[in-house]
């Protein structure tokens, strides 16, 4: 991933607490993709990384009250995590994610996130908001790494080593995912045996919707308690995803949505799952378009694997989720029995 940093603050303005700078990282949005890199990089340069708590009712309420009604649930959750950190740290790390691969972009909410946070009508600590943009090239990438590291030290070698350690941590984390471990297990290092039941369900969507247990209402845990093996998009290698999406009629310009589409069609092609659950946020434009694309392509190609969308927002209730999961899992169980008989 390439990084270009456009500094919108003055270096050296933070005061240290207890002799060590405290950098707050909200446990939301792209925390679920890049936290091992950020954590190792900042820690290696002497900062204390302060992570917000797991999402809970208080954090969701804070975010819902602070955000505009029109923004999607993940952004409201991010607001809540920012507000839960504001009195505990010297600075907040809120990067601007524009592009992480050539010819593709991230969701617009990642482009405007630092501006949205600064616009909150509350007193916040200083915000570190580097701009991640692959299009600006390798030279800008290395210069920006030095600039970011220079916030803590002027030792170029130390900055390079810190970033390399971060990349190593990120690679190890991604290797665990590709080996079949769930993302939340790879982040915490606490692994549980996979269920041994006969059914496999693919759960796709943005990781901040799926692996935030409060937001997803413990979706994965509910499936595992039924002895169902859960597969996620993170388990599919980038090479497979790129090969699959390259055969679509039109190119996808959203990186993270491309991962969803690639994983779904890989499972359908290989018959790796008995059913698919797509978790998407209400008011998320890219999510809605990708849902239509998946359903249309699956129908055109004659795939018979059941696909169930679950739309979430701050008003979603557990009762409705439980009822739909019961109906869906019962349906695919009967289907599996019928196909074997």
CB of 278 closer than 8 Å to CB of 205: yes
In a domain, 14, yes or no: no
Tokens describing residue 115 = 């501006």
Q: What angle do CA 294, 295, 297 make, to 5 degrees?
A: 65
pLDDT of residue 4: 41
**Claim to verify: residue 165 and residue 221 sit in the same structural domain:** no
Does 196 lie in the same domain as 158?
Answer: no
Same domain, 91 and 59: yes
Q: Which of 177, 198, 222 is the last residue of a domain?
A: 177
Same domain for 336 and 241 = yes
Asked which of 177, 203, 225 is the last residue of a domain, the reply is: 177
**15 found inside a domain:** no
CB atoms within 10 A of CB 137: 12
Verify that 148 and 220 share a domain, yes or no.
no
Show Cβ contacts of residue 231 under 8 Å, excluding neighbours closer than 6 positions: 200, 201, 202, 203, 267, 272, 273
Query: Could you give the CA distance from residue 265 to residue 249 in angstroms, rounded to a whole number?
Result: 14
Q: Is residue 219 part of a domain?
A: yes
User: How many CA atoms, within 13 angstroms, populate the side-chain half-sphere of residue 280?
Assistant: 22
Domain end marker among 117, 147, 177: 177
For residue 5, being part of any structural domain is answered with no
Query: Where are the alpha helices (H) located in the chain, listed in sequence order?
Result: 31-44, 57-66, 73-85, 108-118, 137-149, 156-178, 183-188, 207-210, 219-225, 238-245, 255-270, 285-300, 318-340
Boundaries of domain holding 155: 22-177
Question: What is the reported pLDDT for 51?
Answer: 96
Chunked into runs of 10 residues, the chain (341 residues) has average pLDDT values of: 39 46 94 95 94 95 89 93 94 86 79 91 89 76 77 87 94 94 92 88 94 93 93 93 84 83 91 91 82 81 84 84 90 78 62
pTM score, whole prediction? 0.89
Query: 3-state class of 196 per DSSP?
Result: coil
Q: Are 245 and 258 in contact (CB under 8 A)?
A: yes
26 and 171, same domain (yes or no)? yes
Residue 114 forms part of a structural domain: yes
**Total of domains in the chain:** 2
Q: For the domain that residue 164 is a member of, what is the CATH number?
A: 3.40.50
Asked if residue 154 and residue 239 are part of one domain, the reply reads no
Residue 5: per-residue pLDDT: 39
**10 occurs within a structural domain:** no
Residues 258 and 334 in one domain: yes
């Amino acid at each position: 991933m390439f990084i270009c940093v456009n500094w919108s603050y003055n270096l050296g303005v933070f005061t240290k607490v207890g002799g060590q700078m405290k950098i707050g990282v909200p446990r939301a949005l792209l925390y679920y993709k890049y936290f091992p890199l950020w954590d190792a990089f900042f820690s290696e340069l002497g900062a204390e990384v302060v992570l917000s708590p797991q999402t809970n009712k208080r954090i969701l309420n804070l975010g819902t009250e602070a955000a505009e009604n029109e923004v999607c649930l993940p952004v409201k959750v991010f607001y809540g995590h920012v507000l839960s950190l504001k009195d505990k740290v010297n600075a907040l790390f809120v990067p601007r994610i524009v592009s992480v691969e050539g010819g593709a972009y991230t969701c617009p909410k990642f482009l405007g996130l630092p501006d949205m946070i600064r616009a909150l009508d509350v007193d916040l600590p200083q915000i570190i908001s580097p701009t991640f943009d692959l299009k600006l090239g390798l030279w800008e990438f290395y210069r920006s790494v030095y600039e970011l590291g220079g916030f803590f030290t002027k030792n170029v070698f130390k900055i390079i080593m810190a970033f390399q350690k971060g990349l190593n941590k990120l690679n190890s984390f991604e290797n665990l995912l590709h080996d079949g471990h769930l993302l939340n297990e790879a982040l915490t290092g606490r692994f549980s045996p996979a269920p041994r039941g006969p059914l496999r369900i693919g759960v796709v969507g943005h990781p901040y919707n799926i692996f935030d247990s409060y937001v997803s209402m413990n979706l994965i845990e509910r499936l595992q308690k039924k002895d169902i093996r859960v597969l996620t998009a993170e388990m599919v290698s980038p090479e497979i995803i790129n090969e699959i999406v390259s055969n679509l009629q039109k190119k996808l310009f959203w990186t993270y949505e491309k991962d969803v589409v690639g994983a779904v069609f890989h499972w359908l092609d290989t018959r790796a799952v008995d059913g698919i659950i797509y978790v998407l946020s209400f008011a998320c434009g890219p999510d809605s378009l990708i849902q239509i694309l998946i359903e249309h392509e699956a129908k055109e190609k004659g795939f018979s694997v059941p696909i169930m969308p679950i739309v979430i927002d701050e008003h979603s209730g557990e009762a409705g989720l439980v009822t739909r999961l019961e109906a869906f899992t019962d349906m695919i169980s009967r289907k599996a029995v019928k196909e074997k008989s």
